[in-house]
Amino acid sequence: MSEICEKCGLPKEICMCGELAKGKQKILIKTVERRFGKKMTVIQGLTKDVDIKELTKKLKQKLACGGTHKDGVIELQGNHVEKVKEELMKLGFQEDTIETK
């Protein structure tokens, strides 16, 4: 017996909740300067519908950097604004919903 999604009630194999959530996001990617002049890429605007822990893990692996997530914000070590935008589009987020600074 397959698992059932709590949100839509459909089996998890055909559930579209995650894909629909990616279209509703308004994501902001920016670079901030931390202690000692170190750059940090910050990704804001992700809702609870997206698995932020899994997304952080994938971005850290793809970009070969350290990072963390807390309160719906992902922080990656280094300046990766354009690379993060490309990776998010590969993962299914729409380009017009991603803003960079």
d(CA 17, CA 74): 21
- Report pLDDT digits (tens) over 14-26: 776 666 555 567 8
CA distances from 13 to 3, 9, 20, 36, 62 (A): 8, 12, 15, 47, 26
Each residue's pLDDT tens digit, 1-50: 567 777 677 777 777 666 655 556 789 999 999 989 999 999 999 887 78
Q: List the domains of the chain with CATH numbers.
A: 25-100 (3.30.780.10)
Residue range 50-78, pLDDT digits in tens = 889 999 999 999 999 999 999 889 999 99
**Cβ–Cβ < 8 Å for 42, 80:** no
pTM of the model: 0.76
